[in-house]
Amino acid sequence: MAMTLDTHLVQQAEPTAAAAPSRRLRRFARPALGLLLPVGLALAWEIIVWLGWSNGRLVPPPTKVFATVMELARSGELTRHIMATLTRVAAGFGLGVIAGTLFGAISGYWGLARRLLDPTVQALRAIPSIAWVPLFILWLGIFETSKIALIAVGVFFPVYLGVMGAILSVDRKIVEVGRTFRLSGPAMIRRILLPAVLPAYVVSLRVGLGLGWMFVVAAEFMGASEGLGYLLIDGQQLGKPAQILAAIVIFAILGKTTDWLIEIASTPLLRWQDAFGRSGGGT
């Protein structure tokens, strides 16, 4: 009887041990799968230019773009421009998230505030980002304050909408359960509203971050002497398409990296979700 039990346990353990390397392989394979499309397109364009089917003057091949990046890195310019842009995005993102979360929570939780604030916010949201540039320069000057303010405006609107919409979409039955158990206001927020709002809030943060990276380009058009947006303008004025593409590629890498960091940071907070993607249906 004991030997039969031991044999049964060993047979159960063998598939588990065999599945562990398979799970690790899938964890590393999924990010690599996302590189197939951009790397494949880059290789295809490199081959097209190498075969002479295009001169690569207006759209340089990846090797030339990589050489430009390395040249900027050796001179120290690349680090300076990246740090300037990252600092602006971080400051603008932080301010936009704080303001968007605060006003979104007030508008979502308090009906009177929503009726007062939301029409104005929705009207301001329709204003193009470039339209804010001359006004911010007039109010705040041409230096860092106006650039950070412009990025914060871009981040504010998706965070505000995400928080307000998530609060308004909380299931009324769950709230009624909380009231039945006579939860106080802070306890209702902590135990019911916050878990219900968190998934949509993370999505709004990611959307806001994406807009922050878009708005930083407009911000760095405002007389910046450093930053990736400055590299774009400099490349256009001096006729350097490789430098323009290098700046665009670095924007894409930094944007994806920061989005990935938000995703990783939020994963422990969303482990309770029994969602479609987590069950394997989205794979």
DSSP string for residues in 54-98: ---SSS--HHHHHHHHHHHHHHTHHHHHHHHHHHHHHHHHHHHHH
Decide: 104 and 162 in contact? Cβ < 8 Å. yes
- What is the model's pLDDT at position 26? 63
**Between 269 and 27, residue with greater pLDDT:** 269
- What is the model's pLDDT at position 13? 46
Q: What is the mean pLDDT of the chain?
A: 81
Most confident of 1-5, 34-38, 155-159, 179-183: 155-159
**Whole-angstrom distance, CA of residue 233 vs CA of residue 244:** 8
Phi-psi region of 275 (alpha: psi -120 to 50; beta: other; left: phi over 0): beta
Of 176, 156, 192, 166, nearest to 108 (Cα)? 166
Q: How confident is the model at residue 181 (pLDDT cuts 50, 70, 90)?
A: low
**Whole-angstrom distance, CA of residue 103 vs CA of residue 153:** 13
**Whole-angstrom distance, CA of residue 124 vs CA of residue 261:** 30
Checking if the pLDDT of 110 tops 60, the result is yes
pLDDT digits (tens, 9 = 90+) for 227-263: 898 898 888 888 889 999 999 999 999 999 999 999 8
Average pLDDT over residues 122-127: 89
Q: How confident is the model at residue 10 (pLDDT cuts 50, 70, 90)?
A: very low
Decide: 253 and 172 in contact? Cβ < 8 Å. no
- What is the model's pLDDT at position 84? 92
Q: Copy the structure tokens of residue 91.
A: 């400051």
Q: Copy the structure tokens of residue 101.
A: 């979360």
Question: Domain 58-270 falls in which CATH fold?
Answer: MetI-like fold (1.10.3720)
**Between 134 and 149, residue with greater pLDDT:** 149
- Amino acid, single-letter form, for residue 108: G
Half-sphere exposure of 148 (CA within 13 A, CB side): 15
State the pTM of this model. 0.80
Q: Which of 9-23, 101-115, 133-147, 193-207 has the lowest mean pLDDT?
A: 9-23
Q: Which of 53-67, 133-147, 182-196 has the lowest mean pLDDT?
A: 182-196
Q: How confident is the model at residue 9 (pLDDT cuts 50, 70, 90)?
A: very low
Q: How confident is the model at residue 273 (pLDDT cuts 50, 70, 90)?
A: low
Beta-carbon contacts of residue 48 (< 8 Å; ≥ 6 apart): 54
Q: Domain residue spans in the chain?
A: 58-270
- What is the model's pLDDT at position 2? 46
pLDDT digits (tens, 9 = 90+) for 69-84: 999 999 988 999 999 9
**Whole-angstrom distance, CA of residue 222 vs CA of residue 128:** 15
DSSP string for residues in the chain: -HHHHHHHHHHHHHHHHHHHHHHHHHHHHHHHHHTHHHHHHHHHHHHHHHTTS---SSS--HHHHHHHHHHHHHHTHHHHHHHHHHHHHHHHHHHHHHHHHHHHHHHHH-HHHHHHHHHHHHHHHTS-HHHHHHHHHHHH-SSHHHHHHHHHHHHHHHHHHHHHHHHHTS-HHHHHHHHHTT--HHHHIIIIIHHHHHHHHHHHHHHHHHHHHHHHHHHHTTT-SSSHHHHHHHHHHTT-HHHHHHHHHHHHHHHHHHHHHHHHHHGGGGTT---TTTTTTT-
